Amino acid sequence: MNFETTISTADGYVGSGDLDDSKKRRNIAVALVVVIALAAAVYYFFFAGSGADAGAEGKQSQAQTVSVLIPGNGVVERKINATGILAARREIPVGVVGEGGQVLRVYVDAGDWVQQGQVLASIERSVQTQQIAGMQAQINAARADLNLAQNELDRALQLVERGFVSKTDVDRKTANRDSARARLGVADAQLREMQARTARLDIRAPVGGFVLERNVETGQTVGQGSGMLFRLAQGGEFELQAQLGEADLADLSTGVTASVSPVGTERVFNGTIWQIAPMINEQTRQGIARISLPFDRALKPGGFANVEIKAGSTTAPLLPESAVQNDQKGSYVYLIDAKNKVVRREVKIGDVTPNGLIIQEGLTGNERVVAYAGGFLNPDETVNPRLVKPGAIAR
Residues 14-40: tens digit of each pLDDT:
444 444 556 666 667 666 766 676 666
Query: Residue 177 belongs to a domain with what CATH number?
Result: 1.10.287
The pLDDT, as a whole number, for residue 307 is: 93
Whole-number pLDDT of residue 10: 39
Alpha carbon distances (Å) from 385 to 234, 337, 356: 65, 10, 22
Q: How far is the C-alpha of 224 from the C-alpha of 31, rounded, in Å?
A: 132
Q: Same domain for 264 and 154?
A: no
Distance CA 59, CA 53 (A): 11
Q: Do 105 and 53 fall into the same domain?
A: no
One-letter amino acid of 288: I
Looking at the structure, do residues 228 and 100 belong to the same domain, yes or no? Answer: yes
Kindly write down the DSSP assignment for every residue of 314-373, as one continuous string: EEE-EE-GGG-EEETTEEEEEEE-TTSBEEEEE-EEEEEETTEEEEEES--S-S-EE-S-
Structural domain of 278: 81-89+233-312
The closest alpha carbon to 112, from 237, 211, 229, belongs to 211
Give the span between the Cα atoms of 334 and 345, in whole angstroms. Answer: 6
pTM greater than the 0.85 cutoff: no
Of 295, 312, 329, the position where a domain reaches its end is 312
The answer to whether residues 195 and 131 belong to one domain is: yes
The Cα–Cα gap between 129 and 195 comes to 9
298 and 334 belong to one structural domain: no
Do 265 and 286 share a domain, yes or no?
yes
Which pLDDT does position 56 carry in this prediction? 44
Close Cβ partners of 372 (under 8 Å, ≥ 6 residues apart): 67, 320, 322, 323, 393
Predicted local distance difference test score (pLDDT) of residue 91: 93
Answer with the one of 283, 312, 341 that is the final residue of a domain.
312
- The whole-number pLDDT of residue 213 equals 94
Tell me, yes or no, whether 130 and 141 share the same domain: yes
Based on the fold, state whether residues 242 and 211 are members of the same structural domain. no
Task: Specify whether 301 is located in the same domain as 356.
Answer: no
Give yes or no: residues 107 and 144 share one domain. Answer: no
pLDDT tens per residue, range 57-87? 554 556 788 889 988 887 777 788 899 999 9
Secondary element (H or E) of residue 44: helix 16-46
Judged by phi (left if over 0) then psi (alpha if -120 to 50, else beta), residue 213 lies in: beta
How sure is the predictor about 45, in pLDDT bands with cuts at 50, 70 and 90? very low
Select from 265, 291, 312 the last residue of a domain: 312
Q: Count the alpha carbons within 13 Å of 45 in the hemisphere toward its beta carbon.
A: 6
Q: How confident is the model at residue 5 (pLDDT cuts 50, 70, 90)?
A: very low
Q: Select the more confidently predicted residue: 372 or 1.
A: 372
At 166 the pLDDT is: 80
Q: What is the pLDDT of residue 265?
A: 85
Asked if 240 and 88 touch (Cβ cutoff 8 Å), the reply is no
- Answer with the residue of higher pLDDT: 349 or 17: 349
Q: Same structural domain for residues 294 and 325?
A: no
Query: How many structural domains does the chain have?
Result: 5
**Mean per-residue pLDDT over the chain, rounded:** 82
Residues 358 and 386 in one domain: yes
